Amino acid sequence: MSTIDPILWNDWHPVAETCTLLSGPPVETVLLGVPLVIAADADGAFHARRTDDVPLHQDERYGLVWVCLGTPERPVLAIPEADEPDRPAVTVGSIRVQTAGPRVIENFLDLGHLGYVHARYLGDDPHTQVLPYKVDALPEGGIIATGCKMFQPQASPAATEGFMVDYVYKVERPLATCLYKANPVHRDRFDVIFLFAQPVSEEESIAHPLLLCLPDGTTAADLRTFQQLIFMQDKPILENQVPKRLPLADGAELPIAADKSSVAYRRWLSKIGMTYGVIPAQARAA
């Protein structure tokens, strides 16, 4: 039995992109402190193993190899949009960031930073006001933020002008989040962008973005480049957050109304009893 947070130990985590495995050597990585090696064999099948050869559970979905180190209580997160025939799943690669997974997820939900950290792409001064939006609990656990709006100068590679972008954000698992965002060409349909944070240790993560975008003339390479550019703007912010673990106590940091989704995310993690990569609320009083 592992003493690591059962919420993460018994959940599925992406640990490698299949495209990287097919074109290169085996990937060595770490999940929840456990060293892993993932390789493709001659037939194109993928094999993940612990370096100590303790058995693990493995799956392959959406261009990613997934691992569960404990006892899986449910399958890999279902993504209905991945079954829509006109949406190719594009993985963006593994991007390391020296902070806790929940910090990575919370930053993805954050609207107020778009005009500063992603200036000229996902927002711009002075269009930085965060208009009121709604946050609700999801029936299966997690949170959903709806009615989010942001003026974006270049919302995606295909955008030719700035426009007010509608967003919906979801967090369905502690380290899996996604957003639905109006496509700049098909403005009545949504592009879907997922972000999974692989917990390497309590204070170190590997981000795996996954794009499920509508065909709008943008190549997979352009989508990847854009998403990497955006995530690498977030990396120094994330690595300069102190402490690295996400504090869950109300009042540990100072949220405002615009941070509603962050408050809801922290409270949900508290409620389910998450301990890994966070500073639990009760630990603060102690």
Residues that bind another protein (CB under 8 A): 17, 19-20, 23-25, 27-29, 91-96, 98, 111-113, 115-117, 119-120, 124-126, 128-130, 206, 220-222, 224-225, 228-233, 235-237, 239-243, 247, 253-258
215 with 109: CB under 8 angstroms? Answer: no
Task: Give the Cα separation of 151 and 184 in Å (integer).
Answer: 12
CA distance 185 to 180: 14
Asked if omega into 280 is within 30° of 0 (cis), the reply is no
Instruction: Give one DSSP letter per residue of 84-146, joined into a string.
Output: STT--EEE---EEESS-HHHHHHHHH-STTHHHHTBTTTB-TT-------EEEE-TTSSEEEE
Q: Could you tell me the smallest distance in angstroms from the CB atom of residue 139 to another protein?
A: 29
CB neighbours of residue 34 within 10 Å: 18
Smallest separation, CB 232 to another protein (Å): 3
* Shortest spacing between CB 203 and another protein, in angstroms: 12
Paired tokens of 129: 């006001």
Which residue's CB is nearer to another protein, number 249 or number 258? 258
State the Cα–Cα distance between residues 208 and 173, nearest whole angstrom: 14
Q: Are 155 and 164 in contact (CB under 8 A)?
A: no
Closer residue to another protein in complex, CB, 78/256 = 256
Cβ 273 to another protein, closest distance in Å?
A: 23
The amino acid present at 136, given as its one-letter code, is D
Minimum CB distance to another protein smaller for 7 or for 100: 100
| CA contacts within 13 A on the Cβ side of 96 | 8
- Write down the least CB distance from residue 22 to another protein, Å: 10
Least separation in angstroms between residue 251's CB and another protein is 10
- Token pair, residue 94, equals 């593994």
Q: Which residues contact 267 (CB under 8 A, 6 or more apart)?
A: 248, 250
Give least dist CB 148 to another protein, A. 12
HSE, CB side, 13 Å, CA atoms: give it for residue 83. 3
For another protein, give the closer residue by CB, 124 or 191.
124
Measured from the CB atom, the residue of 33 and 93 that comes closer to another protein is: 93
Residue closer to another protein (CB basis): 55 or 126: 126
CB of 24 or CB of 141, closer to another protein = 24
